[in-house]
Amino acid sequence: MVRLCVAVLLTIGLFGSGIPGSAWAAEAAEAQIKILSPAPGAIIKGDSVEVRYELAKGVHATHVHCYVDGEYQRGFSGIVKGLARGTHEIKVVAASHDHEATAAEARVTIEVE
């Protein structure tokens, strides 16, 4: 009887808060990624930039893939090299052990002088 009352109170509390209990599990299961630097609109001098990011791996993600202007950066280790002058979009995507992309991605646009 006590267990039933506790279960009912927990259920009421979860639904009463407007956040279903399964939403917490789903957030923990999904990877999340955020680009820490460069900042959006940053002006980069030279032809390379360090890309710092924060990855919450979730259940499936183990690493990230990096793209510059839609082109995959093979061997990405935190620095994008060989950037031409102009505007560029840098995108990082959380990927699984099998290199499958997850839904988690972040992008930033920079200007190279």
C-alpha–C-alpha distance, residues 52 and 35, integer Å: 6
Where residue 23 falls among pLDDT bands split at 50, 70, 90? very low
pLDDT digits (tens, 9 = 90+) for 37-92: 999 999 999 999 999 999 998 888 899 999 999 999 999 999 999 999 999 999 99
- Mean pLDDT in residue range 7-20: 42
C-alpha–C-alpha distance, residues 58 and 93, integer Å: 13
Is the per-residue pLDDT at 11 higher than 50?
A: no
C-alpha–C-alpha distance, residues 14 and 56, integer Å: 24
pTM for this structure? 0.72
Q: How big is the CA angle at 70 (ends 44 and 79), to the nearest 5 degrees?
A: 40
Cβ(61)–Cβ(28) under 8 Å?
no
The pLDDT, as a whole number, for residue 19 is 45
Cβ(76)–Cβ(66) under 8 Å?
yes
